[in-house]
């Protein structure tokens, strides 16, 4: 079954939710518990309350740097099983005035 378009659509919807800066819009995209990995290491989030705190901190940090929005450039989608896909790409972050802020690899 090729569900790659649905997988990509969900990720793009997540990015649209993140761009609202409303933590409550982002939380439905995560299961409880969740594990997030980034440059600072791994974060185990047993509940959405823990995730909300992490996202508020991340959003505040990005906005302090002039962040306005981000876009996902999907590079590869690989089906791992009937219920799992591996997606790699680049998050392109822009400033409030539309200048590119940075590019971050995502999986």
pTM score, whole prediction: 0.90
> How far is Cα 36 from Cα 46, in angstroms, rounded to an integer?
11
CATH architecture of 4-106: Roll (3.10)
**Residues 63-107: pLDDT tens digits?**
999 999 999 999 999 999 988 999 999 999 999 999 999 999 999
**Residues 31-49: pLDDT tens digits?**
999 999 988 899 999 999 9
> How far is Cα 7 from Cα 86, in angstroms, rounded to an integer?
10
Domain spans in the chain, listed from the N-terminal domain onward? 4-106
> How far is Cα 51 from Cα 94, in angstroms, rounded to an integer?
23
Identify the DSSP state of 27: G
Query: Residue 98 region, left (φ>0) first, then alpha (ψ -120 to 50), else beta?
Result: left
> How far is Cα 85 from Cα 66, in angstroms, rounded to an integer?
33
């Amino acid at each position: 079954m090729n569900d790659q378009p649905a997988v990509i659509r969900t990720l793009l919807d997540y990015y649209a939710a993140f761009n609202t800066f409303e933590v409550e819009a982002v939380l439905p995209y995560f299961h409880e518990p969740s594990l997030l990995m980034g440059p600072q290491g791994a974060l185990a989030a047993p509940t959405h309350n823990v995730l909300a705190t992490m996202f508020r901190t991340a959003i505040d940090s990005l906005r302090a740097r002039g962040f306005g929005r981000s876009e996902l450039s999907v590079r590869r989608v690989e089906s791992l099983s009937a219920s799992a896909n591996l997606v790699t790409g680049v998050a392109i972050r822009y400033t409030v005035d539309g200048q590119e802020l940075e590019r971050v690899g995502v999986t």
